[in-house]
Amino acid sequence: MWSLPLGVLRCGPQNVTLDYDSFLLKWEDDPSCSVIRDGLVYELQLLTADKPVHNGEVVVTPAQIGSTHSWKWTSHLPSQCARHSVRLRSQYNNQSNPWLQKTLPDQGVILVLPRDQMFEVGSTATFCCTVPDGESIKTMFLLNYKGANVNATKISEHVYSLTVHLDQESENWSDVICETTKGEISGASFHAGYPPSDSSLQCETQDLETIDCFWNITRKTEDVEKLRRKYLLQGSPCKIGAMHQLGKCSQKVEVDAAERNWTLTVTNPLGKLELHDRADLTKRVHMVAPEKVAASTVNPRNISLKWSWTVQKYSNLNLTCQVDVSDGDSNTKIENFGVGLTAAVIKDLIPHWDYDVRVRCGTAQHFWKWGDWSKSVKIRTKGDVPDALDVWMKVKEDQTVISWKVPLANQSHGEIFDYKVSWAKTKEKNQSNQTNVSRSNHSLTLTLDPSEEYMVTVTARNINGSSSPSTIIIPRLNLDKSEVKTSWISGSNGSFFLSWPVSPNASCGYIVDWCPVFGNCTFEWMKVPPNRTLTTIFSKNFEDGRRYLLSIYACTERAPVLLQRREGYVRETKIEAKLFKLKYKQKDSAVEVSWEPIPLEKQTASIHGYILYYQDKSGNIFNVSTDDPEATSLTAKNLNISTYNFTVTASTAVGLCGNTSINVILNPPADQLIMLTLISLGAVFLIVSVSIIICYRHWAW
């Protein structure tokens, strides 16, 4: 209780109250103060652990005498963290009456303060631990917080403080733990977070009756209940659902053609923020998705589409609508315009083909953004006759192979039943022959008179009828016997790159065909438009180490004209070893090694020349070479009488390969043999002569 000691000045405080948590002191003047005309001063003193830590004063003017006065002090520690006392006295004309003192009561339990507090990241928080008499503190520490800047201070045996610089956000709630020497534990939770920092408010309407506002959410803290943000749009609460990076708030409003300010207020325990947007909502219409999208008419190559709107006000808007048409491989967007648009026609479609169609719209005038896509609708176009076939031919003597490419699914427009091939001499068109070819075959071999020109026509048939005829003219002369020279070509990256001069005869473009030089000539081809004179040839049937013949033709109104031929490998590989069949012939001190050419079908690389290596018994290696790819022999000269190992290898773009060896024992030349014989006979004659002379002398003795 407050007590007023006897003093010389009766004017002083009365009805004194103190808020323990905020240190807010309030009091009134004693009635005796009303006689004071010059004003009054109140002195205040705050004591922590019976030690003065702060002094203050409140000056009361004559006009304020008789009213309620207050004084507040902010401590870095909660009031319960230490023994706090407050003193108050009045002073007038340098005379002071006695202090009035109040001491906050001891809690009598282990206590960590403050509890359940929110702090802003970057601030410094101070916690304290108090224990009753008879207890002492063993340790005080942080739990579930990654910040490392912590400082613990002993205030007394019964009070510790812990100061933390909050340099990062708490993942959830963090704790301050206090443990006594008797093993008793207490604690307090806190959270370090941020005030609202949302940004980029943008408002629009979908139904012209409701405003929808969106904004960016940063530093989401919704996992902490007390830090959840509260939102007000134009002062009215927002019903916010689950949010991630984008917030949304909607309200019913009166949408008119005028710009208005829209304000979103964001608050949490750590702060308040206002976001603003200024907009005329009639110019910010984000349309809803069309409903009941369906095909009203389906034809082989076009579809009539219709849909409806759930927002009746759209019927008066000038709209632009986008129809997205997808067949799985390609995607096309078609735009249509109209007031209250609810229909569109999709053209240039593939017959007997599946499409996924969806629609979205926006306002044509004051376009804001595209509306939401409708649900995708699957539509199949009706079937049609097949497209005209891609036909080509290959002539060899009196045999002509007519071949056509298998129609793709987007070309057949339904299941192919069969093919019809008809042919006739160009001068006897009315006397044609024809035959049907099963759908599993895609070529037909004809025996034609090479001295005549023929016209061949091929069509494909499905349930809807026959395709347009594809016609090709077979010339009188066999194209393979023309005077066109063959040049060399090297492949690159599994393909051939071709270019050729413009041909004035190529009225309908060019045809390039190719097939292996040896083996079964299953030819392939491609057509090139008239404005191009280069192309790159790819084929899944290309094989490394296999030689191909490529032919370039001009497409004319009559028969195709052969322009160029090329021969080469897509990729050369090393020729197999021991393919040379070697022979040798010695002539004096020289040896000629000869071989039969490697069959072209075995040549997996182009041969540029040959090298003959030879090695004697001593391991000395010599060689002789030629750059003539047609050579069939090489000669090693000035050899000694010895045994030699000869190896023939082919020089190619991929290195030396095809190595084949033979061992040869050299015989002395004929003149050397005669000389050796005479020397031997002379030696024998000399030995015999000497023997006779010795014997004669012996007999004589």
Compute the distance between CA of residue 487 and CA of residue 528 in angstroms, rounded to an integer.
21
Instruction: Let me know whether 441 and 463 are in one domain.
Output: yes
How deeply is 489 buried, as exposed, middle or buried, from its count of CB atoms within 10 A (0-12, 13-18, 19+)?
Answer: buried
In three-state secondary structure terms, 187 is: strand
Instruction: Let me know whether 536 and 493 are in one domain.
Output: yes
Query: Please, which pLDDT band fits residue 135 given cuts at 50, 70 and 90?
Result: confident
The secondary structure of residue 678, as a DSSP letter, is H
Task: Indicate whether 699 pLDDT > 60.
Answer: no
What's the CATH number where 278 sits? 2.60.40.10
Instruction: Let me know whether 535 and 586 are in one domain.
Output: no
Task: Indicate whether 598 pLDDT > 60.
Answer: yes
Instruction: Let me know whether 406 and 463 are in one domain.
Output: yes
pLDDT of res. 303: 96
Compute the distance between CA of residue 518 and CA of residue 50 in angstroms, rounded to an integer.
113
Model confidence pLDDT, tens digit, residues 232-243: 999 999 877 666
How deeply is 76 buried, as exposed, middle or buried, from its count of CB atoms within 10 A (0-12, 13-18, 19+)?
Answer: exposed
Neighbouring C-beta atoms of residue 579, cutoff 10 Å: 19
Task: Indicate whether 672 pLDDT > 60.
Answer: no
Q: How many residues does the chain have?
A: 701
Comparing CA positions, the residue from 418, 425, 427, 429 lying closest to residue 458 is 418
Task: Indicate whether 381 pLDDT > 90.
Answer: yes
Compute the distance between CA of residue 93 and CA of residue 152 in angstroms, rounded to an integer.
46
pLDDT of res. 479: 47
Instruction: Let me know whether 217 and 147 are in one domain.
Output: no
Q: Please check whether residue 385 lies inside any domain of the structure.
A: no
Compute the distance between CA of residue 434 and CA of residue 419 in angstroms, rounded to an integer.
10
- Tokens, residue 418: 């069969």
Comparing CA positions, the residue from 197, 228, 224 lying closest to residue 116 is 224
Neighbouring C-beta atoms of residue 475, cutoff 10 Å: 18
Compute the distance between CA of residue 554 and CA of residue 479 in angstroms, rounded to an integer.
12
Domain of 336?
291-380
Contact at 8 Å (CB) between 262 and 274?
no
Comparing CA positions, the residue from 38, 32, 41, 33 lying closest to residue 91 is 41
Query: Which of 74-78, 497-501, 624-628 is predicted with the least confidence, judged by mean pLDDT?
Result: 74-78
Q: Can you name the residues that pair with 490 across neighbouring β-strands? A: 569
Contact at 8 Å (CB) between 35 and 73?
no
Contact at 8 Å (CB) between 328 and 376?
no
**Cα-based angle 437, 441, 443 (whole degrees, multiple of 5):** 80
Q: Please check whether residue 4 lies inside any domain of the structure.
A: no
Compute the distance between CA of residue 188 and CA of residue 178 in angstroms, rounded to an integer.
9
Answer with the one of 159, 193, 227 that is the final residue of a domain: 193
Comparing CA positions, the residue from 603, 647, 644 lying closest to residue 625 is 647
End-to-end CA distance of the chain: 176
Q: Residues 257-273: what's their mean pLDDT?
A: 91
* Distance from the Cα of residue 684 to its chain's centroid: 97
Answer with the one of 526, 547, 569 that is the final residue of a domain: 569
Task: Indicate whether 231 pLDDT > 50.
Answer: yes
Task: Indicate whether 226 pLDDT > 80.
Answer: no
Instruction: Let me know whether 591 and 628 are in one domain.
Output: yes
Compute the distance between CA of residue 179 and CA of residue 549 in angstroms, rounded to an integer.
92
- How confident is the prediction for the chain on average, in pLDDT? 87
Compute the distance between CA of residue 207 and CA of residue 551 in angstroms, rounded to an integer.
66
Task: Indicate whether 73 pLDDT > 90.
Answer: no
pLDDT of res. 518: 86
Sheet strands (E) in 22-149: 24-29, 40-48, 51-60, 68-72, 84-92, 95-96, 100-103, 111-113, 117-120, 124-130, 137-143
Query: Which of 165-179, 223-237, 422-436, 623-637 is predicted with the least confidence, judged by mean pLDDT?
Result: 223-237
Q: Please check whether residue 629 lies inside any domain of the structure.
A: yes
Q: What b/e string do you get for 621-650 counting C-beta neighbours within 10 Å, with b at 16 or more?
A: eeeeeeeeeeeebbebeebeeeebebbbbb
Answer with the one of 103, 135, 155 that is the final residue of a domain: 103
Instruction: Let me know whether 76 and 152 are in one domain.
Output: no
Task: Indicate whether 186 pLDDT > 70.
Answer: yes
Count helices and strands in the chain by DSSP H and E runs = 2, 52
Model confidence pLDDT, tens digit, residues 293-344: 999 999 999 999 999 999 999 999 999 999 999 998 888 999 999 999 999 9
Query: Please, which pLDDT band fits residue 430 given cuts at 50, 70 and 90?
Result: confident
pLDDT of res. 239: 75
- Tokens, residue 33: 């103060």
Q: Residues 604-622: what's their mean pLDDT?
A: 92
Task: Indicate whether 284 pLDDT > 90.
Answer: yes
How deeply is 509 buried, as exposed, middle or buried, from its count of CB atoms within 10 A (0-12, 13-18, 19+)?
Answer: middle
Give percent of the chain with pLDDT exceeding 70.
89
pLDDT of res. 2: 40
Sheet of 291-298: strand order equals 291-298, 303-308, 343-346
Higher pLDDT, 251 or 47: 251
Query: Strand pairing of 534-537 and 465-466?
Result: unpaired
Compute the distance between CA of residue 243 and CA of residue 643 in angstroms, rounded to an integer.
92
Query: Which of 151-160, 268-277, 365-374 is predicted with the least confidence, judged by mean pLDDT?
Result: 151-160
Task: Indicate whether 678 pLDDT > 90.
Answer: no
Sheet of 655-665: strand order equals 621-626, 607-615, 643-652, 655-665
Contact at 8 Å (CB) between 419 and 436?
yes
Q: Please check whether residue 32 lies inside any domain of the structure.
A: yes
pLDDT of res. 31: 87
Q: Residues 656-664: what's their mean pLDDT?
A: 92
pLDDT of res. 545: 93
Contact at 8 Å (CB) between 13 and 90?
yes
Q: Please check whether residue 575 lies inside any domain of the structure.
A: no
Instruction: Let me know whether 181 and 124 are in one domain.
Output: yes
Task: Indicate whether 8 pLDDT > 50.
Answer: no
Instruction: Let me know whether 376 and 401 are in one domain.
Output: no
Q: Please check whether residue 239 lies inside any domain of the structure.
A: yes
**Cα-based angle 330, 332, 335 (whole degrees, multiple of 5):** 175
Q: What is the Cβ-side half-sphere exposure of residue 198, based on CA atoms within 13 angstroms?
A: 32
Q: Can you name the residues that pair with 401 across neighbouring β-strands? A: 394, 445
pLDDT of res. 106: 62
Compute the distance between CA of residue 414 and CA of residue 13 in angstroms, rounded to an integer.
105
Q: Please check whether residue 137 lies inside any domain of the structure.
A: yes
pTM listed for this prediction: 0.64
Among 38-42, 481-485, 554-558, top mean pLDDT goes to 554-558
* Distance from the Cα of residue 121 to its chain's centroid: 37
The residue assigned the tokens 């006392």 is 85
* Distance from the Cα of residue 389 to its chain's centroid: 39
Q: What is the Cβ-side half-sphere exposure of residue 688, based on CA atoms within 13 angstroms?
A: 6
Cα torsion angle, 668, 671, 674, 675, sign? negative
pLDDT of res. 5: 35
Comparing CA positions, the residue from 171, 122, 172 lying closest to residue 149 is 122
Task: Indicate whether 676 pLDDT > 70.
Answer: no
Q: Residues 83-87: what's their mean pLDDT?
A: 78
Comparing CA positions, the residue from 630, 624, 564, 584 lying closest to residue 603 is 630
Cα torsion angle, 229, 234, 239, 245, sign? negative
Instruction: Let me know whether 643 and 591 are in one domain.
Output: yes
Cα torsion angle, 667, 668, 669, 671, sign? negative
Q: Please check whether residue 94 lies inside any domain of the structure.
A: yes
Task: Indicate whether 477 pLDDT > 80.
Answer: no
Q: How many domains does the chain have?
A: 8
